[in-house]
């Protein structure tokens, strides 16, 4: 159900009710600018992943800086983005089952829509839905470039599927989805680079096979915030799908950059805002942001307040346990604190509103229109 | 945002779109009956926790079987329950900050509302809000009975706070919140029992101190699905707050019962329904339920399909990786499977609808009115 917004435009930050999802607008805009400059310099296209932000308002800002469209993982996410004004969406995932395929095909009457396949029968189902709605769909083959999840092998199976798509009514073979998800969080820089070099090699091999058969392979797309510079430099990838760069999260910041230091080229722009609700001892305080306010699948959130030395020690459903340094100023009940979530995507998925803040004041409240869009 | 329901009444189970949250109505009703009988036999009251199900429809069913009201953790949850017809709600948690306290006090004009405190200043704020709205609030002291989260010590600090509440305008001192959350998932039966015996002793001590001072201490409340039989048998607890018993989850089923076997006195009634979306190899399949469909903070979900030997090996945002036994019938793309979530509460919090199923057919679709209610 849609919840009430925790803030109103014009409020001081300290007045925002908690838990709330804050966007530091200066940091967010700087992140968008930096990525736009990097992809322009590299001569590749950017198609940021909306599974992270789930918000068409943010997608439009990314497109205004040059992104060619967005990626989504679910038809319902794509619907929310198209309804919010995004004209070009790639569902970078398989879509299975008649109800979803109908909605996908119908959506292709309203916007340019792409989808991924890794199976011939599923391709026929996509084609039948497109024919039924008189729609045209771009179709990419997902190849497994080392992630071990979905996708066909980047050799003869990819070629066979390309031929199949090429013959299927109302489908346009558009290229290869070559996302190496497992590489995104390899901490070591060289290992991470090696994983993407292998992925690029596999993708180039599949493309050569397919084009050798006379089928044009327009686009090789993939990459995430952990690896996009390698894909951009590969000479193989045409399009990058990074999403988390817009906000950053605790997990990506634990990757190592080329010098061996933490990857800090993007600023933390997303925070869970929380209130201290109990101070039972000098070593312990409790805030109101637990498992239903910050996803812990990639680690606990981190406390970031200049004058509070506190460690987030554990999450229960609605509580976050904070360990305190007795030497420091202790927090008081009612104090508000910012947390960096361990993993943006599932954290954002718990909220209906972003509270955009600049200079200590609420400047905007954006609806997270694709919150809960899993169908 | 509110999402479309994944099912319509009358559909066959196999037609339900995925991911969806299924309630096996036979199992669910049996669970509600069993707990109602147990608390009646023990001579204690049941006040089930709505932070788990977040659904007033379910709360009304619990009350029809004798529950005296519900617990909530958040004011917004309590609002959703009262709007849905629940006349008596205990917010078993501290409420901090003027916006929430206003709503709490206003809600007490519409229903009987209780709240917990562990701080004198916060008590004054609760009292001021109650006075402002001309409302009366029941106030319980949260005592720390071994959880190490919120709560005052169950000795002189509890007595001092009871005196403070007793003097505060528009507040009725109603008793002690004595929840031992840490004990809920202690696997060993005897250790779990010992933790609750210690909690009951601490609560009885605090009550004796307070009543020795001439302040009536009507209720000692607490307990969860992992321990409620110990609290019921303690002679100390008057009210039980178990919630997960209605659905059960993977984590509670891993507790040991008295015989050393798994705790299976309640049936799994909650399932994440998922579709197989990719079958890349004979050892591996991928379903469409990942981190945004099942919370993994208490372990991965478990596959339960009689004719499918598959293990849920890992979750990414929108994918669940299934390891297959090559000796068995392999799944096919489009097959639908049921998963038991590791932890009900944060899983339910991702969905807007329960799909109630009986005999393979959708019988009802209930709104999860307090989904996302964290304010």
Strand partners, A20: A273
A241–chain B nearest CA distance, Å = 15
Residue A12 token pair:
């001081």
A–B: how many Cβ contacts below 8 A?
187
Residues of B in contact with A74 (CB under 8 A): 318
Mean of all residue pLDDT scores within chain A: 96
pTM above 0.90, yes or no: yes
Q: Inform me whether the pLDDT recorded for A18 exceeds 90.
A: yes
Please report, for residues A126, B56, B353, B364, the alpha-carbon distance to residue B8 in angstroms, rounded to integers and kept in the order given. Answer: 24, 20, 11, 8
- What is the sign, positive or negative, of the torsion defined by CA atoms of B51, B11, A123, A138? negative
Nearest CA in chain B to A120: B333
Q: How confident is the model at residue A306, as a pLDDT? A: 74
Using only the alpha carbons of chain B, give its radius of gyration. 22
- pLDDT attached to residue B328: 75
ipTM: 0.95
With CB atoms and an 8 Å threshold, state whether B374 touches A315.
no
Task: For residue A125, give how far its alpha carbon lies from the nearest alpha carbon of chain B (Å).
Answer: 11
Query: In chain A, which residues have their Cβ closer than 8 Å to the Cβ of B17?
Result: 97, 99-100, 375
pLDDT given for residue A2 in this prediction: 77
Residue among B71, B346, B369, B370 with most chain A CBs within 10 A, to mutate: B346
Residues of chain B neighbouring A374 (CB-CB closer than 8 A):
3, 19, 288, 292-293, 318, 350
Residues in chain A within 8 Å Cβ distance of B1: 2, 80, 352, 367-373
pLDDT of residue B327: 74
Phi, psi for residue A170 in degrees, rounded to 5: 65, 10
Q: Which residues of A touch B93 (CB under 8 A)?
A: 277, 318
Per-residue pLDDT at B329:
80
Q: What's the CA gap between A332 and B199, in Å, rounded?
A: 27
Contacts of A93 in chain B (CB under 8 A): 277, 318
pLDDT digits (tens, 9 = 90+) for A267-289: 999 999 999 999 999 999 999 99
In this complex, do A150 and B278 lie within 8 Å of one another by their Cβ atoms?
Answer: yes
Interface contact B3-A76, CB threshold 8 A: yes
For residue B25, what pLDDT is reported? Answer: 98
Q: How far is B41 from chain A (nearest CA, A)?
A: 30
Written as tens digits, the pLDDT of chain B (375 aa) is 679 999 999 999 999 999 999 999 999 999 999 999 999 999 999 999 999 999 999 999 999 999 999 999 999 999 999 999 999 999 999 999 999 999 999 999 999 999 999 999 999 999 999 999 999 999 999 999 999 999 999 999 999 999 999 999 999 999 999 999 999 999 999 999 999 999 999 999 999 999 999 999 999 999 999 999 999 999 999 999 999 999 998 888 889 999 999 898 999 999 999 999 999 999 999 999 999 999 999 999 999 987 888 999 999 999 999 999 877 788 999 999 999 999 999 999 999 999 999 999 999 999 999 999 999
Is A374 in Cβ contact with B144 (below 8 Å)? Answer: no
Q: How far apart (Å, rounded) are the C-alpha atoms in residues B373 and A359? A: 28
Beta-carbon separation of A316 and B51 below 8 A? no
Cβ-defined contact of A286 to B149 (cutoff 8 Å):
yes
The per-residue pLDDT for A309 is: 86
What is the percent of chain B where pLDDT is above 70? 100
Given a cut of 90, is residue A80 above it in pLDDT? yes
A334 to B97: CB separation less than 8 angstroms, yes or no: yes
Q: What is the per-residue pLDDT for B310?
A: 92
pLDDT at B308: 84
What is the maximum span of chain A, computed from C-alpha positions, in angstroms? 72
pLDDT tens sequence across B176-221: 999 999 999 999 999 999 999 999 999 999 999 999 999 999 999 9
- pLDDT class for A249, splitting at 50, 70, 90? confident
Lowest mean per-residue pLDDT among A95-99, A249-253, A261-265? A249-253
- Cβ separation of B317 and A346 shorter than 8 Å? yes
pLDDT in tens, A337-352: 999 999 999 999 999 9
Residues in B closer than 8 angstroms to A181, CB to CB, are 316
Longest dimension (CA), chain B: 72
Count, residues in chain B: 375
Chain A residue closest in CA terms to B284: A149
Task: Let me know: does B146 contact B202? Beta carbons within 8 Å.
Answer: yes
Section A308-315 average pLDDT: 93
Contact A295 B291 (CB under 8 A): yes
Q: Are the Cβ atoms of B345 and A121 closer than 8 angstroms?
A: no
Q: Does residue A70 register a pLDDT over 80?
A: yes
Contact A19 B375 (CB under 8 A): yes
Angle, in degrees to the nearest 10, between helices A189-212 and A156-167: 50
């Amino acid at each position: 159900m849609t919840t009430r917004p925790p803030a109103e435009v014009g409020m001081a930050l300290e007045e925002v009710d908690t838990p709330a999802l804050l966007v530091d607008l200066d940091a967010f805009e700087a992140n968008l600018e930096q990525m736009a400059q990097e992809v322009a310099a590299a001569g590749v296209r950017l198609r940021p992943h909306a599974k992270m932000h789930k918000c068409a308002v943010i997608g439009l800002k990314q497109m205004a800086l040059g992104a060619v469209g967005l990626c989504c993982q679910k038809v319902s996410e794509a619907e929310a983005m198209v309804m919010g004004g995004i004209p070009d969406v790639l569902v970078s995932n398989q879509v299975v089952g008649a109800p979803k395929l109908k909605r996908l095909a119908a959506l292709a009457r309203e916007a340019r829509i792409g989808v991924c396949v890794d199976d011939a029968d599923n391709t026929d189902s996509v084609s039948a839905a497109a024919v039924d709605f008189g729609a045209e769909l771009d179709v990419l083959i997902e190849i497994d470039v080392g992630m071990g999840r979905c996708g066909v092998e980047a050799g003869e199976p990819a070629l066979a599927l390309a031929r199949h798509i090429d013959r299927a009514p109302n489908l346009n073979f558009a290229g290869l989805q070559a996302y190496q998800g497992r590489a995104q969080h390899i901490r070591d820089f060289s290992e991470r680079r090696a994983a993407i070099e292998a992925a690029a090699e596999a993708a180039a091999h599949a493309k050569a096979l397919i084009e050798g058969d006379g089928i044009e392979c327009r686009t090789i797309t993939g990459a995430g915030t952990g690896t996009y510079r390698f894909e951009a430099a590969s000479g193989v990838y045409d399009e990058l799908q990074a999403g988390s760069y817009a906000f950053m999260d605790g997990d990506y910041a634990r990757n190592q950059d080329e010098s061996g230091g933490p990857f800090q080229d993007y600023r933390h722009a997303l925070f869970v805002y929380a209130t201290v609700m109990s101070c039972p001892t000098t070593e312990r305080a409790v805030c109101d942001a637990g498992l239903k306010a910050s996803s812990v699948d990639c680690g606990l959130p981190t406390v970031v307040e200049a004058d509070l030395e506190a460690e987030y020690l554990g999450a229960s459903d609605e509580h976050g346990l904070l360990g305190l340094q007795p030497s420091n100023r202790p927090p008081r009940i009612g104090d508000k604190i910012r947390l960096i979530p361990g993993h943006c995507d599932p954290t954002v998925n718990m909220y209906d509103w972003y509270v955009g803040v600049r200079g200590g004041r609420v400047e905007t409240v954006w609806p997270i229109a694709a919150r809960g869009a899993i169908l």
